[in-house]
A = this chain, B = another copy of it.
């Protein structure tokens, strides 16, 4: 029974992980259920045991990985470390997230909810926004950030960072730079 429950979890997860691998490899229009099944080493029909249809698979994929990203961000930004370090950790995780999706996140999210944009997508965004607001707030409270910051706007700024999935620079240096710019600005 325990193994059964575990197997169910495993197979769903197997399929979800196969999905993002295929997605990264072949892009959105190259994402065929048959390929996902092969990659997950299950039969084509098995995918439909765990997901209603392709759209549902995408929905689950986006939801699962986005929420787990949010969770990580929440955890990282709440650790008891200097703001700068937490910011670096946030950016690191964010870049990993963008890279994981190869910039296709928004497109996949739309496929997952073709009509509704205001609802589901916005809901996700707002969760992220709130997590980041807490983060900014903590920085202000601790005196590491300027007290006059508009917290929502600053959170939104952090949310909009790091779109580019292509990077020519060593990640380390890039993140260090981003932190530097965000903390001190580029002006004289």
A28-B28, A125-B164, A157-B181 given; A145·B187 CB < 8 A: yes
Residue from A110, A183, A184 whose CB has the most chain B CB atoms within 10 Å: A110
The complex is assembled from copies of this chain, and their number is 4
Of all chain B residues, the one with the shortest Cβ separation from A31 is B29
One of B121, B129, B143, B157 near A177 (C-beta < 8 A) = B157
Q: Do A160 and B157 touch (CB < 8 A)?
A: no
A104-B110, A106-B104 given; A163·B166 CB < 8 A: no
Residues of B within 8 A of A157 (CB): 177-178, 181
- A7 to B68 Cα, complex, angstroms: 48
One of B111, B177, B188 near A150 (C-beta < 8 A) = B177
Q: Do A28 and B156 touch (CB < 8 A)?
A: no
Q: Do A185 and B181 touch (CB < 8 A)?
A: yes
Kindly provide the distance from the CB of A124 to the nearest chain B CB, expressed in whole angstroms: 9
Q: Do A188 and B143 touch (CB < 8 A)?
A: yes
A106-B103, A110-B104, A111-B28 given; A146·B177 CB < 8 A: no
A104-B106, A106-B107, A160-B161 given; A114·B27 CB < 8 A: yes
- A165 to B187 Cα, complex, angstroms: 27
Q: Do A149 and B186 touch (CB < 8 A)?
A: yes
Task: List the 10 closest pairs (A to B, CB-CB), nearest first.
Answer: A163-B163, A103-B106, A185-B185, A107-B107, A183-B187, A184-B185, A153-B177, A160-B164, A27-B110, A183-B185
